[in-house]
Structure formats: structure tokens, C-alpha cells
Amino acid sequence: MSFAIQCLDCGQTEPYNPLTIHCPNCKSQWRQAVYDYPSAARQLEAALPARKFDLWRYREVLPIRQPNPDLYLGEGGTPLIRAANLGQMLGCPNLYIKDERQGPTASFKDRQAALTIAALKEAGITELVAASTGNVAISYSAYAARAGIKLWAFVTSLVPEVKMREIALYGSQVVKVTGSYDQVKQIAAEFAQKRGLYHDMGTRTITSVEGMKTIAFEIAEQLTEHLGPPPGHQPGQPRWRTPDWYIQAVSGGLGPVGVGKGFHEMQAMGFTNQQPGMIAIQAAGCAPMVHAWQNNLAEAIPVTNPQTHIETLATGTPGRSYGLLRQEMKQHGGQFESVTDEEAYRAMHLLAKMEGISAEPAAAAAFAGLIKLLRAGSLKPSDLIVINCTGHTLPAEPLILGSGWTRDVELPQTQPANPHSATEQEGLLAALNRVAPDRFPRIAIIDDTPDARRLVRRILQSQGDFTIYEAGTGRAGLELVNREHPDLLILDLMMPEMDGFTVLEALKSNPSTADIPVIVSTAKELTLEEKSRLQGQIQALLQKGDFMSEEFLAEVRALLR
Ligand SMILES: *Cc1c(COP(=O)(O)O)cnc(C)c1O
Ligand SMILES: [Zn+2]
């Protein structure tokens, strides 16, 4: 047999049947798919070059070998995007985003849905009950629609209306329960049992774990494409690249359980030679795994009354997933960490402004966790980091944007007879003047690194009206400042030929430029002597990779006042 189901408790193996929910020997519901890895490796090696980049690429290690074309929605194969601005800001240049927003329903749950719904359809199931914090129900609904399966989607009343409507739109029955997600799960289970309907088993569903693991396979292949094989690679050695860390926000923990399994299987097949550390981020108001981890408990204590607005992360009883992840982290590195809702929303806005990526609050929590762990020194700036990103800001936009984000123009009433009359033109000009003043505060950036200049420019562009000048050398910068007399200068110190110290001395010795306020941004720890050279000459000193956009803007605004 090239593929079987193995019990995590007694080790017994049996053939796969999607409708069997426990081990026939010991009744444990915790089982996993195991494959003949050497043979799968040989087949994959031969087949991969010609295969499309989607989930089915790895079919030799999936419980379903033949994808059903009637169900296909383009699952898997999402891009791996380098986060250049955010990486620059946080001082970790090797930061990548696994962009699961680009799945069929914009979440990584599509991988789970594609395999699970396909298996249930093969098994003849036509009606299904699932409890969900939102995204599973959306994804199952889309695939269930194609499979001819009716879904009863049990959700908490916290799930945003737009998500509930999407579930309903796909033709599923939304059952909205006022209560915690764990109560929702219980009610859904009872409903399924009473009606004799198939009930989704969450992390214990073989196909769901198997779907999630394809994230790991794709990451390894994509990192290899971006960066080449691991450093020091010799012919015949594992060729695929592994990140140092995989970061995801967790609720039930299915994602990292599957991704961890994927990385283990790649190693078993000789494609990679190491495991990444797993980092699982929870919302502070519902963080049973973080609590258990920090107190070195083998089991998590349930949180019965979650205090978070991030409904996607509101699983209070993680059950055995916690133990599985804890074991993985103890063995291969990683940790659980929590972030507040506030921190998640801030990260969500940052991600949108800096990378053009609109994520939902739950995904943003992973980014907030990244920021927290970098600042705590748990992650090193040189680490290769991949973050799972899912969802859309839409339901949460009012929360982060507030009001006052448009500039409204009321055009004067048009006279059809003469649209180009003088008064018409005047009215238009007056309206345009209200869009923005003629003259913005003027800021010059002198930095020899294009990435660093782009980051500063982007921060300034994203929140305020400034006229920005840039120079890539000290000499060009000096000319620029003498010519333009900006209201503020942002100056790098380490530049070839003419460094920032020299630029600063020249500006300060010239009465016409001596009063221009200066913010120095530096990548280097300054010596005492260097600090004393700057003393009294500059208004602020920022360490590159260690300031956030908000802090920077606050500094800029204070100096322009
Ligand atoms: C489902 C989901 C989570 C939680 O994932 P688990 O692996 O099930 O814990 C986190 N973020 C988003 C956006 C999700 O959709
Ligand atoms: Zn067993």
C-alpha cells in the first residue's frame, strides 16, 4: 500500500476511508496519512517539472490522486511575495509573504476545502455540517456548491455580516449562534448527530491536514526559485530551501499542524534537510496555547469567555493541536506568542500602506507577532521568514481608517450651454485648491541605498502631503539642499565618498542651511565619539530597521511645526 492512515496513539494503520472517524483498534480520532515516501519522491521528482503550480502538483502525497475537474477552482499555487518595504522597516530583509489571499475564496482554508469536499463527494456525502469562525464556512460553501453538497454552516454572531452573506450567497444555510465559538462547535456536533449528518472534524480531518501541508511544499519550492538551493549545496543533496521560521496566526492550529507535517515529509523524501521553526500567534484575549506554552503545560487550559474582536482567532479549546504543535516547537524551535487586537489592527494598516496587501485582522495578528518577536530578539534580522497572509481588510476597514480619509470636491453646477465659461473655470480652480494646498512641506532624503530611500518616501507618501527630494550620494545631497532649501532633511550616515558626517558639517557651517532640522537614520551602532559629533547638530537619531512608520511620522511632524 503506498498510502495508509496511521493512528497517532496505537500506531495501527488502515486503508483510507473519508467516513471513518476513528482508529478501529483504540478508537482514537487522532490519525494521520502516511505514504511510501521513497516511491513518492521518485514519482514527484519525475513529474514536477511538467506540472502546473497548484495544490494537485503534489498528488503523490495527497489522499486524493485524481483531482475532479468539476470541483476545481484553482486551489493552491499562491505567490510567495518578498516584503521589501516592511522587511526594510523591521530590519529583516529576508521576509516573505505566502499570499493565500489569492486562493479561490481568499483564505488558506481553500486547500482544506478542496481536498475535504472532494473526498466527501467521492464518498457519496450530500449534506454536511461544519462549525466555523468564518473562513472555513466560506471555503467549504464554494466547493460544496460545485460538488452538489448542502452545507449547514454554524457560525458565531461575531462573524462579520459580509462573511455571513458570502456563505449564504454560495447557497449554504448560515446558522448564527450567539455564544462562543466552542459553544458553536458543540451545537453543530449535536445537530449533526440528531440529523445523522456528516460532521466536519476540524484538525482531525485527514484531508484538512493534508491540504494545509501543500503550503509547506509550495514555500520550499518557491524559496528555492527565489534564492537557489541551500548554501553549500552539493549535487545529490537535498535541493529545496526551508525558511528559518513559518509564522501564522492560530485558532485551532490546523494550519501549522499541516505545514509542519509537510516539512517533515519533504525531509523524509530527501527534498529538504531541515525543519523550520513554527511560530503560532494568538489574540491576547483568547490565548490558551500561549498561556500553556509560557507556563510549560502539556495541555492548554480552555478559555471559556474569549475577549477578542478577531473572531477568526476565537477558539478557546485548542485540544490536542496544542500538544502536537508544542512537541514540534520543542523539537525544531518556535514558540507561541500573543498580540492585542490593537496591535493586529495597526499591523493590518501597516501591511496595506507598506506592501499594498490587504489582509484580515487574523492574518495581521501574525504580522504583529513578527514585530513583537523581532523587537524581543527572538527572531534574528538575518532570518529567512515566511508569513501566512489571508483574507481581506474589507470587513474591518472602518476600524482602522476612522473618518476624514477623503477630500471631497463639489463641482459647480455645469451650464450645458457653455461648459468652458470663465466662472466655470474659476469654480473648478477653487475646488481643486481645496483638494490640496499649493505648497507642501519639503523634505530631502540623502541615502545611498535605494531601498532605504523608498521606505522613507513610502512612509511620507502614505500619510501626509510632502514634497520629497532624494539624493543617492553625499555630494548630490549637499547640492540638493543648497538648491532647494528643504524644511527638513533625512540623512544617512554611512555613504561612500562623502559620508553623512561630512554633509552635516558642510550644512552647519553655511549660515543659509545651518537651521534646517536634520533627522539622522543610521544602520550602524554609533560610537561615543560619533555620537558626540552629532550632539547639538541634529534633531533626532533613528536606527534603521528599528523604527515604525508612526514613530517616524510623529518625529517629522514635530520638526515641521
Ligand atoms: C483559520 C484562520 C486562522 C486560524 O488558523 P488555524 O490554523 O485553524 O488555527 C488564522 N487566520 C486566518 C485568516 C484564518 O482564516
Ligand atoms: Zn489507535
**124-147, pLDDT tens digit by residue?**
999 999 999 999 999 999 999 999
Let me know: does 329 contact 278? Beta carbons within 8 Å.
Answer: yes
CA 59, CA 75: separation in Å to the nearest integer? 13
Q: What is the model's pLDDT at position 418?
A: 64
Distance in Å, CA 215 to ligand 2 centroid: 28
Q: Which residue ranges form the domains of the chain, and what is each CATH number?
A: 3-108+205-227+240-396 (3.40.50.1100), 109-204 (3.40.50.1100), 442-560 (3.40.50.2300)
Distance in Å, CA 401 to ligand 2 centroid: 51
Q: What is the model's pLDDT at position 411?
A: 77
> Of 73, 129, 144, 65, which Cα lies nearest the Cα of 103?
73
| Choice among 5-19, 476-490, 521-535 with the minimum mean pLDDT | 521-535
Q: What is the model's pLDDT at position 417?
A: 60
Q: What is the model's pLDDT at position 392?
A: 85
pLDDT above 70 as % of the chain? 98
For residue range 463-485, what is the model confidence (pLDDT) as tens digits? 888 999 999 999 999 999 999 99
Q: Is the CB of 211 under 6 A from ligand 1?
A: no
Q: What is the model's pLDDT at position 16?
A: 96
Q: Which residues pair with 179 in a beta bridge?
A: none
Greater confidence, 32 or 394? 32
For residue range 392-427, what is the model confidence (pLDDT) as tens digits? 888 788 888 887 888 888 777 766 666 566 777 777
Section 67-71 average pLDDT: 96
CA 265, CA 271: separation in Å to the nearest integer? 9
Q: Which residues pair with 286 in a beta bridge?
A: 283
Phi, psi (deg, nearest 5) at residue 82: -80, 130
**Do the strands 334-339 and 198-199 form a parallel or antiparallel pair, or are they unpaired?**
unpaired
CA 269, CA 257: separation in Å to the nearest integer? 19
Instruction: Give the H/E segment covering residue 423.
Output: helix 422-435
Q: For residue 87, name the pLDDT band (cuts at 50, 70, 90).
A: very high
Let me know: does 253 contact 393? Beta carbons within 8 Å.
Answer: no
The single residue listed with the C-alpha cell 473526498 is 119
Detail the DSSP E strand segments found in 455-504. Answer: 467-471, 488-492
Let me know: does 74 contact 52? Beta carbons within 8 Å.
Answer: no
For residue range 178-220, what is the model confidence (pLDDT) as tens digits? 999 999 999 999 999 999 999 999 999 999 999 999 999 999 9
- Work out the end-to-end distance of the chain between its first and last CA atoms, rounded to an integer number of angstroms: 74
CA 299, CA 133: separation in Å to the nearest integer? 23
Section 174-178 average pLDDT: 96
By most ligand atoms within 8 Å of CB, the mutation choice from 209, 290, 390 for ligand 1 is: 390
Distance in Å, CA 392 to ligand 1 centroid: 13
| Choice among 28-37, 243-252, 404-413, 522-531 with the minimum mean pLDDT | 404-413
> Of 321, 256, 335, which Cα lies nearest the Cα of 98?
256
Q: What is the model's pLDDT at position 545?
A: 87
For residue range 415-464, what is the model confidence (pLDDT) as tens digits? 666 656 677 777 777 777 777 777 899 999 999 999 999 999 999 999 88
By most ligand atoms within 8 Å of CB, the mutation choice from 116, 156, 215, 312 for ligand 1 is: 312
Detail the DSSP E strand segments found in 472-551. Answer: 488-492, 518-522, 540-543
Q: Which residues contact 181 (CB under 8 A, 6 or more apart)?
A: 131, 133, 156, 251, 306, 311, 314, 315, 316
pLDDT of 488 strictly over 70 = yes
Q: For residue 276, name the pLDDT band (cuts at 50, 70, 90).
A: very high
CA 298, CA 103: separation in Å to the nearest integer? 35
Q: Is the CB of 260 under 6 A from ligand 1?
A: no
Distance in Å, CA 84 to ligand 1 centroid: 25
The set of cell numbers assigned to 338 is: 500573543
CA 349, CA 332: separation in Å to the nearest integer? 32
| Choice among 483-487, 517-521, 547-551 with the minimum mean pLDDT | 547-551
Quote the Cα angle for 237-82-310, to 5°. Answer: 110
Section 273-299 average pLDDT: 98
Let me know: does 279 contact 246? Beta carbons within 8 Å.
Answer: yes
Distance in Å, CA 203 to ligand 2 centroid: 17
Q: Residue type for 414, please?
A: T
Q: What is the model's pLDDT at position 353?
A: 94
* Closest atom, ligand 1, to C-alpha of 252: 9
Q: For residue 68, name the pLDDT band (cuts at 50, 70, 90).
A: very high
Distance of CA 477 to CAs 213, 355, 446, 469, Å? 50, 27, 6, 9
Q: Which ligand is nearest to the CA of 31?
A: 2
pLDDT of 93 strictly over 90 = yes
